[in-house]
Amino acid sequence: MYYVYVLKSKTHRTRYVGSTQNVEARLKMHNEGNVRYTSGRRPWELVYVEEFPTQLESLQREKSLKMGRGRAELDGILSERKE
């Protein structure tokens, strides 16, 4: 299985959207500073995950969540989880 995941920085007001086959290992990489984009905004917490049967589907969803309508959808999903 493939996953799209959303991380939230505990020190900055930023989030990161990515895809992987192993969410726990990927989160560990982000928090250890092994991902250039996220290394300066550590620590990260996992706030959302979606599962997909193929890598192509997960990459398409990742891309959509980073752009216009998908970003707005993600904002809505995450705000519902806070309530």
Q: Which domains does the chain have, with CATH numbers?
A: 2-82 (3.40.1440)
CA 26 vs. chain centroid, Å, equals 10
Q: 3-state class of 45 per DSSP?
A: strand
Give yes or no for a contact between 46 and 78, defined as CB atoms under 8 angstroms apart: no
Scan for tokens 């997960």, then name that residue: 58
The answer on pLDDT for 82 being more than 80 is no
pLDDT tens digits, 5-55: 999 999 999 999 999 999 999 999 999 999 999 999 999 999 999 999 999
Instruction: Inform me whether the pLDDT recorded for 80 exceeds 90.
Output: no
| Residue located via tokens 């990459």 | 59
Mean pLDDT of 51-67: 98
pLDDT value of position 83: 63
Give the predicted TM-score (pTM) of the model: 0.94
